[in-house]
Amino acid sequence: MALQSPILSFLRLSSHSRSPILQFRPFLTRNHHRRHLQTSSTSPPIPDYAFAFDIDGVLVRSSDPLPRAHKALSYLQSQNIPFILLTNGGGKHESERVEELSKKLKVPLDTSMFVQSHTPFEELDEYKDKTILVVGGDEDKCRRVAERYGFKSVITPGDILTAHPSIWPFSQQFLPYYASFSRPLPRPILPNDPTNSLQISAVFIYNDPRDWGLDIQVLKDLLLSRAGIFGTLSSKNNNPELPNRGFQRDGQPPLFFSNPDLLWAAAYHLPRLGQGGFREALEGVWAAITGGPRMGVELEKTVIGKPFQATFEFAERKLLTHRADLVREQELGRAEQKVGRLKRVYMVGDNPASDIRGGNTFKSPRGMEWVSVLVGTGVHVPGSEPEWAPRAEVGDVWDAVRWAVGEEKMKM
Ligand code: G3P
Ligand code: MG
């Protein structure tokens, strides 16, 4: 379901969707680009092409910078060639992650050139005054990201387990861990008093879940509930007269996943399961409970992140705003230098299913060309046939930059 046309499926899953319409806001401009913009009269003009770099498997492996990542990014900054970082990762606020990456890669970076999997959630204003459930990430870091996005009432599965340990019998040994960061619930779970019981208006999976058992149990309870009220069961469930056999037809909270990646490149030599693995596990449990596709039941959800159109649209807007700042800075320095519009973006990634598919299938609303470049330092095994064919396959990120700049030189 999530694999259909991205913008509408970004929020709308089917004709009777319950998802909101997303009104894109202009990004705030920032004025500290001088740090990495060459403005002297001899510095190169900002060209009509730019880059979007994936992070895991391209710039870093787990937390270690890849050998030529610094060289690639600092070269681009020396040539005033704009770039953004576009990752399906997350779990920390953009400002924190940018700070870390900047130090690791020894390249000045800032949030105006940075898109994480959950960054677009910041625009979902309609849930900011409602109680939402945020799943995934270390401890309750993702809750704090959501709060910095402006969500006022954010709970985690850990809060629920700490308040009601019987909700999932198999994480009792983790209670001390959860107690270290959980918070009291805004309302208790009161099966006999649903009007005063805890109610969830939306569920967001911000990052790779750590405790799949607890998280799947809590999501199952919500998806079968009446109107997202914990401890209740919807009477519409399993009604063959209703669409989707009545499942998710009783005001249950919409489900937002930020990252579809089944596999990603971490420290281990073989790819590891990602948020997509968790979603597949949930879908499996949901199908076992509801009868699944063979009974005409699906798990209605919204999945964003690469390769989906809406995430690339979000990233393209971010890149354009960032580039416009650089252009303004440069023109301040050299009024005579007029900079043309951006025509081409090189999407450099290690994962054919997200980076390359996204770069190949993205339809830029501004008619910009996106060119996919696959590196061999992450998920993709060099020499194997990638699921989605890139425009170019290279060794690592520095090879990707050299190849693209070479292509551009040939166009001159
Ligand atoms: O959890 C992160 C992973 O799915 C991939 O991240 O940077 O390769 O898009 P990235
Ligand atoms: Mg990657």
Residue keyed to tokens 């073989």:
270
Nearest bound ligand to the CA of residue 375: 2
The residue contributing the CA closest to ligand 1 atom 1 is 89
- Position 331 scores a pLDDT of 73
Nearest CA to 354 out of 378, 384, 332, 338 is that of 378
Does residue 289 sit in the same domain as residue 315?
A: no
Among 87, 100, 306, name the best residue to mutate to test ligand 1's pocket (greatest count of ligand atoms within 8 A of Cβ): 87
Q: Which ligand is nearest to the CA of 58?
A: 2
Give the closest residue to 379 by CA, choosing from 269, 259, 260.
Answer: 269
What pLDDT score does 99 carry?
A: 97
Start-end of H helices in 116-164: 141-148, 157-163
Within a domain: 395: yes
Which element (helix H / strand E) includes 404? helix 397-411
Residues 155 and 198 in one domain: yes
- The model's pTM is 0.90
Q: Which tokens is 222 given?
A: 């919500």
How far is it, in rounded angstroms, from Cα 68 to Cα 355?
A: 20
Of 86, 90, 70, the residue nearest 78 (C-alpha): 70
Q: Is residue 3 part of a domain?
A: no
Residues 295 and 323 in one domain: no
105 and 146 share one domain: no
Residue 384 placed within a domain = yes
Q: What share of the chain is helix, strand, coil (3-state, %, to 5)?
A: 40, 15, 45
Tell me how far the alpha carbon of residue 87 lies from the centroid of ligand 2, in angstroms: 7
Task: For residues 385 and 256, state if they share a domain.
Answer: no
Residue 1 placed within a domain? no
What is the C-alpha to C-alpha distance for residues 53 and 67, in angstroms, rounded to an integer? 15
Q: Is residue 5 part of a domain?
A: no
Q: Count Cβ atoms within 10 A of the Cβ of residue 99 and give its class: 0-12 exposed, 13-18 middle, 19 or more buried.
A: middle
Please tell me whether residues 202 and 55 are part of one structural domain: no
Q: Give Cβ neighbours of residue 289 (< 8 Å, ≥ 6 apart).
A: 220, 224
| CATH assignment of the domain containing 224 | 3.40.50.1000
List, run by run, the mean pLDDT of 10-residue segments along the chain (412 residues).
44 43 45 50 86 98 94 96 98 97 97 98 97 98 98 98 96 96 96 92 98 98 97 97 98 98 94 97 98 98 98 98 90 64 97 98 98 97 95 98 96 83
Identify the residues whose C-beta falls under 6 Å from ligand 1.
Answer: 54-57, 87-89, 208, 259, 261, 264, 274, 351
Q: Closest Cα to atom 2, ligand 1: which residue?
A: 89
Query: How far does residue 247's CA lie from ligand 1's centre (Å)?
Result: 31
Q: Which residue range is the domain that position 359 belongs to?
A: 11-117+307-411
Residue in 100, 101, 117 to alter for ligand 1 test, most ligand atoms within 8 A of Cβ: 117
Using the atom order of ligand 1, give the atom closest to the CA of residue 259: 4
**Number of structural domains found in the chain:** 2
Atom of ligand 1 nearest to the CA of 55: 7
Would you say residue 6 lies in a domain?
no
Indicate which ligand has the atom closest to the C-alpha of 89: 1
Residues 175 and 237 in one domain: yes
